[in-house]
């Protein structure tokens, strides 16, 4: 029995040591970490502290975003301190609300947030504004009606997903002829950006006279995208193109078309410009995608928040609530094709 006790305590100790080791490694590498309080911040205590609250940092798009923010902070360490937090699962709303509450309790100067839901985060962000925290919304736009109902304004800094998707769709339409059948793979339908991308694809296809014969959600996922695309091209044998709302689903669709032996007969377009899609675009297996410059997205939000803090600080005695500059800012979306990838200056 004492042997077992010794064994189990040894194992527990080993596990703890391993955890400590992992956390140590994480500090130095950290793209996959959930919480990475910035340790290099060397400025005086008076530098503003900005909390960046993301969706899942396990998602390449958001980890790229966080990485860009970290680099920006490292280059501007004298101007602000950065606290990055993410949730485990894109749909874990409760945890994200909890994160905002924790940041309110910490009395950060600004919260830059990519909301996991367009509506559910509004009331907690209202509380943050009420205690004087600057709030900037990035990536996924908060719902205008809910904001109006709550009686607050939160500026949105981010890309126009609908215009981006329309741009990709128009490029695709140039390769099709009017009346061709196309299918759409959507993201999670409750997500605002998924709705916007679908609408953008539809705008482009309808304008060019294409026929959308099928439009289904594949939940942003590679494997599900593969299976839904297989079913789509199996049922609609005349389909000429698949418009995918993100690159993971586009990779899944690519594998489905290969497996069906119809490589080269069906065009694929995606969205996001993840690393894995670029090889496929260079090979001509995928026609185009859109780049929202994920590495810059959070930085745009942080820069905006810093400006707001500066404005609030400069005229003494004025309250932050009625500053005039609370307007939305649009960030660029770029069309990525085989030609644009071959340009030497485009390696981001």
The residue (of 258 and 348) whose beta carbon lies closer to other proteins is 258
Selected binder of other proteins within 275, 319, 343, 345 (CB under 8 A) = 275
Residues 16-35, one symbol each (x = binds other proteins by CB under 8 A, - = not), give: ---------------xx---
Closer of 69 and 133 to other proteins (Cβ): 69
Segment contacting other proteins (CB under 8 A): 58-66, 123-131, 307-315, 333-341? 58-66
Binder among 104, 204, 277, 302 for other proteins (CB under 8 A): 277
Taking the complex as a whole, the smallest distance from the CB of residue 312 to other proteins amounts, in Å, to 35
- 139 with 112: CB under 8 angstroms? no
Site mask, other proteins, residues 156-195, x = CB under 8 A? Answer: ---------------------------------x------
List binders of other proteins among 98-117 (CB under 8 A).
none
Q: How far is the CB of 67 from other proteins (least distance, A)?
A: 9
Select from 274, 297, 305, 333 the one that contacts other proteins (CB under 8 A).
274
Interior/surface letters 325-348, b for 16+ CB within 10 angstroms, e for the rest: ebeeeebebbbbbbeebeeeeeee
The nearer residue to other proteins, 27 or 189, going by C-beta atoms, is 189
Three-state DSSP state, 59: coil
Q: How far is CA 41 from the centre of its chain?
A: 25
- Asked if residue 221 lies in contact with residue 252, where contact means CB atoms within 8 angstroms, the answer is yes
Helix (H) / strand (E) containing 329: strand 329-331
d(CA 15, CA 82): 30
What x/- string results for residues 126 through 155 when contact with other proteins is judged by CB under 8 A? ------------------------------
Total residues interacting with other proteins, rule: CB under 8 A: 44
User: Is the torsion defined by CA of 252, 258, 261, 263 positive or negative?
Assistant: positive
- Residues 60-89 as x/- pattern, contact with other proteins by CB under 8 A: x--x--------------------------
Largest CA distance in the chain: 79
User: Looking at beta carbons only, is 27 or 227 nearer to other proteins?
Assistant: 227
| Burial per residue of 298-310, b for 16 or more beta-carbon CB atoms within 10 angstroms, e otherwise | bbbbbbbbbebbe
Q: Supply the minimum distance, in Å, between the C-beta of residue 159 and other proteins.
A: 21
Q: Are the C-beta atoms of 230 and 259 separated by less than 8 Å?
A: yes
Q: Is 276 in the site for other proteins (CB under 8 A)?
A: yes
Q: What is the dihedral of CA 140, 142, 144, 148, to 10 degrees?
A: -170
- In angstroms, the CA 157 to CA 159 distance is 7
Distance in Å, CB of 342 to other proteins, minimum? 18
Task: Quote the DSSP letter at residue 289.
Answer: E
Q: Which of 159, 192, 186, 165 is nearest to 295 (CA)?
A: 159
Residues 205-264 that bind other proteins (CB under 8 A): 214-217, 221-223, 226-228, 230-232, 234-235, 237, 247-248, 251-252, 254-256, 258-261
Q: At what angle do helices 192-208 and 161-173 cross, to 10 degrees?
A: 30
Q: Is the dihedral of CA 235, 240, 246, 252 positive or negative?
A: positive
Residue 220 DSSP label: T
Question: Of 217 and 245, which has the nearer Cβ to other proteins?
Answer: 217
Interface contacts to other proteins, rule CB under 8 A: 4, 7-8, 31-32, 57-60, 63, 189, 214-217, 221-223, 226-228, 230-232, 234-235, 237, 247-248, 251-252, 254-256, 258-261, 274-277, 279-280
């Amino acid at each position: 029995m004492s042997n077992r006790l010794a064994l189990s305590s040894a194992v527990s100790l080993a596990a703890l040591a391993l955890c400590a080791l992992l956390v140590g490694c994480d500090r130095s590498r950290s793209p996959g970490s959930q919480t990475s309080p910035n340790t290099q911040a060397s400025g005086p205590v008076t530098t503003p502290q900005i909390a960046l609250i993301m969706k899942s940092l396990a998602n390449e798009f958001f980890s790229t975003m966080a990485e860009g923010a970290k680099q920006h902070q490292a280059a501007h360490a004298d101007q602000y301190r950065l606290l990055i937090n993410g949730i485990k699962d894109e749909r874990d709303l409760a945890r994200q609300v909890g994160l905002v509450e924790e940041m309110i309790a910490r009395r950060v100067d600004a919260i830059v947030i990519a909301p996991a839901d367009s509506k559910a985060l509004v009331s907690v962000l209202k509380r943050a504004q009420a205690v004087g925290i600057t709030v900037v919304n990035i990536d996924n736009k908060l719902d205008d009606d809910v904001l109006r109902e709550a009686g607050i304004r939160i500026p949105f800094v981010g890309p126009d997903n609908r215009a981006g998707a329309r741009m990709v769709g128009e490029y695709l339409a140039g390769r099709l002829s009017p009346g061709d059948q196309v299918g759409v793979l959507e993201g999670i339908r409750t997500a605002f950006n998924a709705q916007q991308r679908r609408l953008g694809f539809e705008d482009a296809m309808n304008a060019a006279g294409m026929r959308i014969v099928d439009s289904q959600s594949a939940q942003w996922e590679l494997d599900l995208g593969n299976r839904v695309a297989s079913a789509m091209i199996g049922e609609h044998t005349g389909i000429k193109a698949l418009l995918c709302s993100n690159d993971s689903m586009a990779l899944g669709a690519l594998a489905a078309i290969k497996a069906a032996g119809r490589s080269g007969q069906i065009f694929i377009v995606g969205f996001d410009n993840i690393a894995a899609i670029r090889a496929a675009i260079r090979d001509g297996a995928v026609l185009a995608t859109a780049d929202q410059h994920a590495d810059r997205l959070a930085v745009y939000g942080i820069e905006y928040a810093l400006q707001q803090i500066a404005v609030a600080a400069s005229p003494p005695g004025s309250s932050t609530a009625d500053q005039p500059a609370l307007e939305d800012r649009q960030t660029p979306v770029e069309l990525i094709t085989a030609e644009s990838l071959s340009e030497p200056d485009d390696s981001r």
